Chain A
Amino acid sequence: MSDSEIAVRAVGLVRDFGDVRAVDGINLEIRPGEIYGFLGPNGAGKSTVVRMLTTLLAPTRGQAWVRGMNVVERPGDVRLAIGVALQEAGLDARMTGREVLVTQGRLFGLSGAEIRRRISELSNIIDIGAIDRLVGTYSGGMARRLDLAAALMHNPKVLFLDEPTTGLDPSGRMRVWEEVRRLNRDMGMTLFLTTQYLEEADSLADRVGIINVGRLVAEGAPSALKRSIGTDVVSAHVDGDTDAACDALRDIEGVSAVDRFDQEIRVSTANGSAVLSPVALALDRVGVTVTELALRTPTLDDVFLDVTGTRLDAHPERASS
């Protein structure tokens, strides 16, 4: 595929802030019409990558292109092709929703008639009844949806959404998910979506890139990533000597991997039902108390644990990445 046929491409993207390396050699290749989920904990470097791909931040090293246009050499052209909703809704509290959208449309060269049409078309996202109210009176969810509508005013080819559902209630989250699917299905829009929610990446993304400490540690379709660590997972929460328990579990026939996270032991296997009893017996033999034992299919969190040695939801820092 040539550069112009790739929606987003990054090669060796590095970004330093002083002595801190926030992004460390990211390579990406996202096809047109793809929903790409960028999954990682807070502080992993997701937002920094987005800011570089959307022309707000220059890479320290490496290069990136959007639809074949270099983000540093042709930022103006890149901006015409992309829509962006950053992590914090970038809105002016002293403007009305309509003024935000009109200003956005005018700056993208849309005529008055085009702006009116787009506002009407975007009414499924925004709360049309509140469109003439000041943004400062909006709830968090309303502001996020207005921000998304502003990003869509000019019908971008590639849409970057930086944690679009963080802070939304479940119904607001579902509305955003549905809109993301619809934009991709009906418009063929390419979406680059960062998230810290496993289910969001799993549910929406055609492919997922897992980022940790500035590095891309795994990439692939969610189903393929989950398959890579086994068909089934036996999860046991235990009290007692987990090291001895892990050693005992590794000896069981059919077990492909044993991982431990605090008091949870995770056994990856191709046949969960066949190893469930041996696992229970082995744990009993080493004298640990089993508080919970479950057989389930792997999740992206298991993938994250597998590649980083830590759980995605174990990262305490909630600051912007």
Chain B
Amino acid sequence: MSVSRAAAPPSAKLDGVVKEYPGGVQALRDVSVAVTGGEQVAVVGPSGSGKTTLLTILGTLERATDGTVEIAGVDVDGASDRALAGLRAHRIGFVFQSFHLQDSLSALDNVATGMLYCGMALRARREVARQALKRVGLGQRLDHRPGALSGGERQRVAIARALAKRPTLILADEPTGNLDSRSGAEVVELLHELAEEGSTLVLITHDEKVAATFPRRLRMHDGEIVEDES
């Protein structure tokens, strides 16, 4: 990809972000971080340290209680729910620990569903989905339902779903958490490869070996970024 990394605008920029849940629990305290376009970042930390909350704020699924959040050039605080949905539909791809595939749909249609809200017609979505599944090595599994796939394959379907619309930002929440170490390693490698094609990747993990494959690592503790190593 010919995008110049240095000149790319930040994919995500958080400034003094606080996230407080009802009952006074502070999941994030004064988090400031910028992720440049095309960067690959691992977020590590013990459970309860605020990793997933950080990811939901980056993914615009939740709004910060305080501070400013800018994702793909959009000021999240000032944006309507509808505008944020548009941002998620076109710019953000999610990969979850528990895959979140629909059992009643084939691998192809699961991936095609990833572009449902982009306003593309079904035929076009299926075509892109076919390409994306081939890209993740599941070209032979298009018509299989998730139930007929192994854990690693399911996560690859989920990755294909996230990347098919070519998002600027891929957010992965413990994508290897439900996989054995070999499939886990394959999945991480695939994510790296795909991100190389031009997306920013933010991946949450508590696995140090996975984190070690990333050029930049954010370490979190008690809702704060305690270390930013690269």
The answer to whether A and B interact is no
- The chain A residues found within 8 Å of chain B, CB to CB, are none
- The chain B residues found within 8 Å of chain A, CB to CB, are none
